[in-house]
Structure formats: C-alpha cells, structure tokens
Structure 1
C-alpha cells in the first residue's frame, strides 16, 4: 500500500506532503514538487521536521490555524476518514520584495492505513490555494458590511419596527422603532418572544400566521397588541421566512403602528355610518311621522310626491306630478282648505285642519297637513306639505262623540251620574245633565284623576278597594255593585249606590268599567225618619192610656197598642183584619154608621183626617164609649 501511495503522491497535482504521527507530533516524511513550488521551500529542508516547526507562525491567525490543523489530523487518526479545513491562512514569503504575501488555503487530510488496516500509518496533507476567492469574499463582505452599516442606520432611524425571530418566536434582532412601539428596552426585549405582546383574543390567530411563515408562506395581517406599559395598539405586520442553506431558521418582520390610522378610519367609518343612519332615520321618520310628503308650487300643482303615496292612497307618486292638489280634495272642504293654503304666500308655515282627500278607489280619506313655504330654498323651490292620515281618528272621534251623547241622554233620563272608567290608563269620564254641578263640584273637577277616591268616606274606602280589587281580578265577575258615602263640596255626605258592568278581553282581563252612580240620600233619609217615627210610636203606645192603632190598608191588618187590652179588655197577640176584630165589636146601632164614615173618608182624596164617636162591647158585656 505504501508503494501505491508513493506513486499517487508523486503524481498528485495539488501541493501535498506526507505526515507520520509519532508520539503526538506530526513528522513530515515527504513533500511533492508542487508543494515546494508554492511554498518556496526545499524538500530536503522539510523532511523529518514536525509540521509545526517546519511552518512557523507568520500571521496573526497562525495559532488559530495550527489548532485547526492539529484538530483535523487528530480527527483523521480517530475516525480513519478524510477531513477538510475549508479555509486556513498561511502567508508565503516573496523573496523579490522581501514580504509575506497573504495566502488562504483549503487543507485536506486523507488517512493512509497500515497493511493490517487497523491503524492510520500516514496522513496525506494537501493544500489548495483559495487566496483569490477568499480575498474577493472579503471584499464583498466589506461591501456588505458597509451596506449593512447604511442599512443599519436606515433600520435604526425607521419608526417602524424591524425585527427577526427564531423558530420559537424569540427576538433575534430588532431596531429602536420596535422598542419604541412596544414601550420596552433593548435589554428586556432580547429575553422575550412575541407572544406576551399579543392581545389574548388574537394569540391563536397570530400564531397561525407565524407557523405559516415558518412553512415558507409570507404573511401580512393586522393584530391587536398590548405594549409593555399597557397601551392597546393595532399593528400592521408583514413577516417573511428567514432561510439559510435552503432551511427556514426564523422570520424577518416589519411592524407598523396603525392605531391612529385605524382609529381615524374607524371614526370616519362611524361618522359615515352615523350619517347614513341619520339619513335613513330621517327618511324613516319622515315616512313614519307623515303618511304623505309632497312639494307643490304656489298654485298647488304637484312637483314631487313621496313613494308612500302608493301604499297610503294606491296612487303612484308619478301620477301626482303636474296635477293640482285641490282636484283630490272633497268639494265640501275645498273652500276652507283653499283659504288656508292662500295664506302661505305671507306666512312661512301653516297648519290645515283635517280635510277629505280622494284615494285610488274613490274613497274619501281624512288628512291633516303642515304646509311650509320653501320656494326661496334652492334645494326645494316649492311648498312642502307633510300630511298625516287621521281617518280612524275622525271616525273614532265621531263614534266617541255619539257614545258620549248617549251617556248624557242616559244620565238625563235616569238622573244618575254615568261614568266610563278606562282601567288601562286609570282615567274616568263622567256624564250628567240638568245641573251645572254635581255634589257641588264642577264637571272638569270631577274628571280629574283620583278625584273620586279622595272623596269617599274614610270608613268605607278600604273596604271598597278590597271589593273592587277582588271583583276585577275574578274573570267570572261581569258586574259590581257598591254603596258608600261621598263627601259633597259643602262637607256633608251623600249616600250613593254604584252599579257597574265590567268589560274584559278574551283572557278575562278587566279593561273598562261602565256604570251608573245613583244618589239615594233621600231614600236613606226617609228610611231613617221612618225608623225614628216607628220608634217614637212604640214609646207613645207604651206611655199613653189611650189606645193607639195603625191600620195597614194594603194588607188589611191592624196593629194596636198594648193599652187596648187594658182599656177595652181585648188581647192583641196578632194582627187580625179590621172586619173580624174591630168592626164586629161595635154595637149594632153604631156599626154601619162608623163603617160608612170610614169608607167615605178613605175614598175622598181631599180628606186626611177621620173622627167618630161610637160604643164598643167589652168582653164582660159592658159598653165602652169611644171617641176614635
């Protein structure tokens, strides 16, 4: 094998020498002519020397170079495989100008195994001159460094954040623009990755963009960021893959603060939205507030009609153009409306009371209209009419008027106070006639809210409330009847009886109470007077020696005092009829006279007193002389 390598060695075109490892040193055993040529050394002066002694230090990089050579040789011994040093500097002395010329080499070391192939016996060391290539690289490097210096100035002066991240998202490099945006220091940022600055709700999205970039896909997006001091920012971010030797080792990025721009755009968008909303709202309000909107000239000819004319009247707006508004107004209303409209030449605004306007089906619809003179406005140049349909209001108003008239007629016919109580609004309308006042109060005063309950007697108010509440809550109850005392304007109390019909919806909820209130004070007073008279009558019958009697003509029964037995000896346990008890006890000669006299008195409306003298049989057979 030695002979084979010797043959190859002598013919090898690159500068080469043969080294033998001896006790930790590398002894030169042979060099070829090319090696001697490029180094300017003689073969005899090199063989047998340690390589470190044969090529002493001649540049600032020598010690480092020798370390690389020694490490490579050791590696060949250990692995028994070739090893290469891509670049090593060793300057060559030029005798012509007596200076060392800068030289760069690529060194390659090949193992030559012993015959048993168990160990490395020699190492073939070759050197390839790379000076021109390395010097060009150095020149380019300086150019790059100069360009980078200029670029660095651009980067540092750039207000945008320029940075690079490794594959884990950790900051590798960045400019002052980024530290300013993130409100942090260079020292702090060097320890961090980008995630702490991401708004929580956007971390996943930002990570997705980062991962796509690591897969070789450049990304551009906007992100919500929170700075180190807590400022909420919006950044426009562009990131591209950072490739080295066809492998993505991280990303380069640019972050631009667009918070203010975004805020301004949002503000503009919001303003535009508000303007659009305002315009839509205005149109909606016009359409909602007024069923019809039109523009007329001073002769009331239509210049414009709103789209709502189709839905309200069944007449498309274009059919109004050029036609006179008074052609659609009811003949009975035309003169009044024309009189009002003619005022618009001297008044800026007028309001026209409800009038009838013809629709597509020849039906008359009621409208009330506001008229504004805007003939001098260049954007309008006409008379603006805003009309609202009030047909239902007019019809319901008439129905209500008729209902009120019926209530008043009912009140006049019965003498009662008629009322209509709206439970939804808790308002009451009362009707009465024949008097300017009721219970001493004006009609307007009685229609006030809470007026009635304030004048009910305090002893009866709570009971009335409970009865009213329970009755209204019971869906089965259709009527309510109450009696109570009501304070008049002079402080006295009237006795009232109240009868009401309850109007309910389909679910049984009470909506209204319509009823009549009757003043029964006279009846109550007469009843009380009768009770008092009866009481006095009873006391009188007990106190007198005369016999007092009370004849019920309707039932033909007679009630006598207890003195009747005492005076005449007859018992009075029951109320017998007059004929059987009284007339039968009058002696025969007086009986017919008394009966005829009594009948005549009862039949004569002009008489209110009766008096007779007669004789009456006692139970013991004696006669009693009676003045009756």
Structure 2
C-alpha cells in the first residue's frame, strides 16, 4: 500500500534534493524532504514539515503543481506525481532547481572547498562536465560505482571515456539538459556494468552536474512489490472463497472476486451498485454501523456469523472474516465469506444427537464410566445417584477398586488384565460399595477406547444385578433342598424357573428315565421328550392351566427315556405366581406308573376272558340244558314205573340245580361289567 513511509525509503538516500508534497491544493503541504534537500537549503526537517510550499514558490512552480493535479502526469522532469492504484495523485515529488527552491550557486560546476567537501561526503555518485563535455569533477562515490579513479577522468571528454553510452539514454538526456537548460531525472540500466542507475541532471551556465546511484536493490524491491501486488490480486481474484472489499462509511461494495459472483449470483456490475444491506435481510444499516464502530478493531481480524441472501432468494449462513485496509482513498474492509450453512446444520444435528445420547446415558439404568490411563474415573454418569446413592462427582479422580469389596478385587483385577489382548471383556458380578456402606452386586462390560482421542480410556457399562444374584443364591439353596427331597423319594422331582426358562431335574430322573441328575433344560427341551401322539394335548393342558392361574396340574402321558423308549408318567405339580399373575416357578414330580398301567391292562384282559367264559356258560351251556328240561316235562306226563319214576325225579332235580347255577353265573358277570 502506497504511503509516505514507503516513499521515504526510496528518496532518503538520494543525493538529489527531493521534496515530497501532499496534493492538498491550494495549500500543497510539505510531507517530507530528504537529507540532500535539507543540506542544500541548510535547514532541518521539523522546520519545514507540515508547512505550505506555496509561501516560498514562484508562480511557475504553482502552475506545475496545478497541472499535475488536473492531468495526473508530470509537468516536467523536475516535478512529477506519484499515483495510487486508481491512478489518482497521492503525492507530488519535485527535484531541487535553481528556479524556485535551490539557489543557483548550488548547481554550478565551480566547486569551492565547501562544495567539494559536501560532494565528497554525499552517498550519491557525482560528476560534472563543462559545455564541451570535459569532466570537471568526479567524486569518490563515482569512483566506486564506475570503478574508475578520478585522475584518469578529470579533463577528459565524457563520451570518449564512455563511448558505449552514446547509444544509450544518457546521451539524449544529458544533451537535452545542456541545450534546454532543463533538469532531467531518469532511471536506466547500464549493461556494461550490469547495474540499474537513478540519474538526476542539473544544468548550469558552466555545463551540467550529474548525480547518480546504484538503485539495483530498489528496482529489485519494486519488482518484488509489483509481484506481491500481483500475487495479492491473484489471491483475491482467484480465491475459491467469496471475497469482497467495501467502503466502511457507505457500506458500498468496491470490489468482489469471481467466487463471490458465482456463489451469490450477482454480476460484478450489480455488486458495484449494491451495499452490504442488500445481501443481509436481517440486518439494518444502523446495526451494521454499530458493529463496525464497536466491534471492528483496525489491524485485527473480526469474525462473525450472519445470514446472507443470494440473488435467487436463498438464505445462507455465512462466517465473515475481515480486516481494515486502505483501498485507494477509501477506508475499507477486506472480507472473506465462508458459507457455513451445511456446517451449522451438521453441527446442529450432531448437537441434537449428542443431547439425545447424553439424555440416554444420563437417564439410562446402566452405570457408564470412563477410566483414564492412571486407572481413575474421569467420567461417570448420573445413574450413580439412583443405583448407589452417591453423586457422580464423588468418584472423579478415584480408583474403582476403592469401592469394590475386598474379597472381589483379585477376581476383578485378573479379568481386567484381559483388556490388554481383547477389545472388550465381561467382568463377572462383583460387590460395589453404596452410600450407606452396604454393597450392591454389579456386572460390567469393559471396552478399550484408549486409542480414541475423544474418550482416551476404558469405558465401563455396569448394571445392578443384585436382585438376580440374591435370587440365584436363594435358588441355589432351594436346589439343595430340592436335591435332598429328590433323594428321599423314587419319583422324579423337577423345578421349573419360568423367569430364567430353566428346568432343574433331580436324581429320580436317572433312576426312572436314565437322564443325568441335575441336568437343566429349557421348557421347549422338556416338551420334546413327550410322546408325539400326546404332546399337543399335554402342552395345551399346561397353557390352559397357566391361563386360568390354576395352582395344581395333574396329567398323564408317555415320557421318553435316555435310551429312546417311553414310560408312562403321572405328572403332579404346583404352580407359583407373583402378584401380577406372572408364572414364577412350577414344582412337581413325574411318577413312573408304567407297571401300574400294565397291571390294569392285564386285569382288563382277564375280565374280557371271564366275560367270554360267562357268556359261553350262560348261552352255550344253557341251551342244551333248556332242551333237557323241556324233554323232562314231556316225559313227566306219561306213566312211569316206580323205579323209572325215581330216576326221572333225580334227573329233574339235577337239571333244576344246573339251571340255578347258570343263572348265578349270568348275574355275577353282569355285576362285573357294571363294576
């Protein structure tokens, strides 16, 4: 950026007296004078700085200043403008001339001792020639720059000494100064010496005086400055981020890059007729002015997120990053605009997810904690209040082993060592201290997340299993009693835990059916041992019993033995429900009634055989007996001798007795059938 400080660095070492003037007509204030100028006038910078140059200038010089302001170009070689990026006059530079500020005697080629001392002490190279181009003076700096001692120069013709310069601008410029009596100022590259020179030529009645110096470093600096400016323009115009420059007073756009044109949809011409308010629908001019006045600090990058509107009406969230700059004669701000609409939406989604996750974690029934590399709690959720009655803050920075029951510590440590080779382990139930110094049973799953920078530790998910452990202890005691009872009877005793879906068998199952004592099965496994022809009926009876909340169930079916054969069993069991009517347990026995059933079948077979005998006696035997009785009745009507009559009487009595016996057999058979 062009400033008086940057100009000082250019002119402060020049042997030519230079005066820098602000273009603030009609005053034309002195902004700077270099050391050569001050030495020539025998004055000091504070004595002239800030004063008007008009007071000591002739009308021709004032006309030159006015001409420069009107035309933005040099009035002559001794008075020329310095233009800014917009082509406007930023400063006016005038070289010392005898016509207005420099006395005539300062530029003559007649060098007295005082002049010689000055010319030898200045940092610029200097030489003088008379009207015949003979060198009359050659100072030490000229010897150094041109690498030619003065004793070989003085009195000789300049163009004979430097014939190669005849074809360069030196020749033309020096002759113009000699003939037209006009100072000349130019920069030239001298290929013989491979250096850039800044040359100032001042004519006099005796010839010309020439100040020159090596400006290679300045040319290189200007080249770098030019490249830097071009790089800046490239950074601005080719940046993938939308960028703009706006006037801080009017908020009007001064420039926008291609990315801004593409992103917002406005052309460059449209932007140049717009202000910041045109793309900020929710921000008024007063609010923007307040932000610029109270929040924006010159020299510091100011960042803000606001809502912008594209040409198509789409609203976007934009993060603006800007800094104050001078843009021509404007106090301006350079602003980069980053569209963060999707980023903010993603962050909001993550935030909602985190809040949801946090709510799940904090309100969940599990105790979730993180153990850091030192083995201390670095995080623990609020479930400690409901599970253990202790505030989570009380655990932070402490070892979990401080709260584990001493008898359980060795087992827990042994299992925790497995995390060195496994990503996740399960820790068997252990006792953990509560607020009232009692213990609750916890069961934990530990996940190694030490390689995750967001966690950096072991994550433990613990749940309270006190009720389950206590139930298992009671169940174990019940099983022990169950085993004692099963040994005292030949029946197969069983205990079905409906909550765990586990069926425990007693010793009677081995003696009666060949199954291993103590073997535990699920309810569905037991059902597979029911004979296929009876399975549907038996299961339906169980379901109906549970549905009606009946406390007793007796049923008979065939049960498969370990060797694949079946035995007939009589199942008798009691059902236990909770207060809600949910089945908890079913205790009972399977009585092997195979022999009883077989005995009954044998008796039934005998009864069938007896019925057949009875039928035979009552039907087959009775028929001939009936015929015999009938014949006797016929015989009885005829006359018999006394001897035959006695025989007949005996036959008749026997037939009557046989008929009575047959009648008794029929009655008993009928009674047996009824039984």
User: Shorter-normalised TM-score: what interval?
Assistant: 0.3 to 0.5
TM-score using structure 2 length: 0.36
Name whichever structure is richer in strand by fraction: 1
